[in-house]
Each structure stands twice: as C-alpha cells, then as structure tokens.
Amino acid sequence: MSIVIQQRLIPDGSPNKPSKPMTPQWITIHNTDNTSGTAESHARYLLDGSGGRQASWHYTVDDKDIYQHLRDNEQGWHAGDGNGPGNTTSIGIEVCMYTGMNQDVAWNNAAWLVATLILRYKLTFDQVVPHKNWSGKQCPSQILPYWSQFIILIKGQVQQLQNGIRILVNGQEAAQGILKNNVVYGPIRDIATALGLSVGWDNTKKLAYLNNISQPNSIILNGSAYVPVRAIAESIGASVTWNGTERIVSIQHQDKKE
C-alpha cells in the first residue's frame, strides 16, 4: 500500500508547538477521543492554534487521509510528560475514531505510517509505544485493548515495505513498485494520477500509454499495467533518482504549462 501524506505544517513560532529540534527515538500512538473529527479537521484545529492550548503532534490518520503537522525532527506537546522523553524524543501519531469511519482501514493506514517511520529512523518495534507509556492515560483508548494486534499490523507493513519499492512523485507517495531484473516497475495508472497525466492501454499491442506516449516493456501484474519507472520519467522529461538504502524511487516533474 502507499498513501499520500498531506503536509499542513504548523508555522514556526506558533505558540502551540515547542519549536525545538529533536532526534526521533520513539513513536507514540494516540486516539483522538473525538467522535466527529477527521484527520483534515484536526489539521485545521492545529493550524488555528489548538484552541489556545499547548498541544501539537506530528501526524493525524483516518480511513482516508494522513496529515502531517510537525516535522519529524521537531518536538511536540502530545505525551503529557512535560519535558520528558515522550514530548522531547517521540513522534506523536493521533488515530481518528469518528462515527462512521472505517476503523480497519484507519488502523492499517496508521500501521503503514508507523512502519515507514520505523524504517526511516531505524527504530525497533519496542520503540513504538502507547501514550499510556508516558503519562498513564488510558490512550489510545480504542487501540490499547488490541495493542498486540496493532503491532502485528505494523510488522506486516514493515515486511511489505522491505519487499517493495516506494515511488514518490514530487516528494509525495504515489505508488508501490517492484524490482524485476534490476529494473524498478511501477503501476502506470497510479503514477499517471500523481503526475496529473492521462493513461491508456492498447490490449492488442499489450502496450501502455502516458499522455499518448507509448511505454515499451509494459507488463501486467495482478491485472494492472506496470512499466519501468525510469522510462516513464524520461518520456515526459522528468528526472528520476534512486535511494537504495530506503528503496525509494523519486520522480521530479514540473508541468511545462505552469
């Protein structure tokens, strides 16, 4: 799976964040305890100053979106331990619980985010903790009774990420790719959507098209067309880079019409 993380960063100097640097050593899981708030509405709440409270965290997750509010390398006020390690060394993630939300999808989205951060910062599963670990509060209220199952979800996502290739378009998550004969292939439809381009398929020639430009070496995987990512980038004049450590392919493309 691959999810676009939408950045709505709290401005530097805002009174609802510490504005202090940190090196992530923990990931702290919360539930919002808000039966009406989506990830997007929590993003607006933080941008509007958290109601005058000293409250801020790094990400909010629901069944549709992930919003980022703080950079990973800056402290938040979310753990309830003052200047303790929860606030000063942990990335805070709030998981929504609004009425009508698909909880399974939201928890899987949260597990994917945690897995991504574990791999990025070389953390262990023991460094993923509930809010209760820092302050004694029964939080995350919905996830806490199923904590071991939630960790299993995270482990599954880590395994998927380790076996797969992340494809970013202009810095945003776009798709999950595969490595075949030392070539990274990606699902052309997902990549086209991220680039804002049209995609087509000639069933006779078994050939994919991006903005009417043919994409040779197309393959079908689980019913979807996959093409070499570098070929996609070069066909539209985009640049592509490979991060072998994190297994990330990045496409940078500036629409010439802009």
**Residue 105: how many CA atoms within 13 Å on its side-chain side?**
11
| Confidence at residue 19, expressed as pLDDT on a 0 to 100 scale | 95
Alpha-helix runs per DSSP H in 77-225: 85-89, 103-121, 132-135, 147-163, 188-195
User: Of residues 161 and 132, which shows the higher confidence score?
Assistant: 132
pLDDT recorded at residue 201: 82
Q: Please give the CATH superfamily to which domain 5-163 belongs.
A: Peptidoglycan recognition protein-like (3.40.80.10)
Is the pLDDT score of 165 beyond 60? yes
Q: What percent of the chain has pLDDT over 90?
A: 64
Phi, psi of 175 (to 5 degrees): -165, 170
Query: What is the pLDDT averaged over residues 113-125?
Result: 94
Of 19-28, 116-125, 166-175, 199-208, give the lowest mean pLDDT range: 199-208
Q: Are 129 and 27 spatial neighbours (Cβ–Cβ below 8 Å)?
A: yes
Read off the pLDDT of each residue in 183-202 and give the average, rounded to a whole number.
88
Tens-place pLDDT, residues 62-99: 999 999 999 999 999 999 999 999 999 999 999 999 99
Give the chain's mean pLDDT: 91
Residue with tokens 């069944």: 63
d(CA 137, CA 130): 9
Indicate if the pLDDT at residue 1 is higher than 70: no
Count Cβ atoms below 10 Å from residue 97 Cβ, excluding itself: 20
165-252: CATH topology is Copper Amine Oxidase; Chain A, domain 1 (3.30.457)
Confidence of residue 257 (pLDDT cuts 50, 70, 90): very low
Mean pLDDT confidence for 136-153: 97
The confidence score (pLDDT) of residue 111 equals 96
* pLDDT (tens digit per residue) in 233-254: 888 899 999 988 778 999 998 7
Q: Residue 256: which pLDDT band, with cuts at 50, 70 and 90?
A: very low
How far apart, in whole angstroms, are the C-alpha atoms of residue 74 and residue 56? 11
| pLDDT tens profile 2-38 | 577 889 999 999 999 999 999 999 999 999 999 999 9
- Output the CA–CA distances (angstroms, integers) from residue 156 to 40, 101, 125, in the order listed: 27, 22, 12
- Report pLDDT for 258: 41
Q: How far is the C-alpha of 88 from the C-alpha of 81, rounded, in Å?
A: 9
Residue boundaries of the structural domains of the chain: 5-163, 165-252
Which helix (H) or strand (E) covers residue 42, if one does? helix 39-47
pTM: 0.71
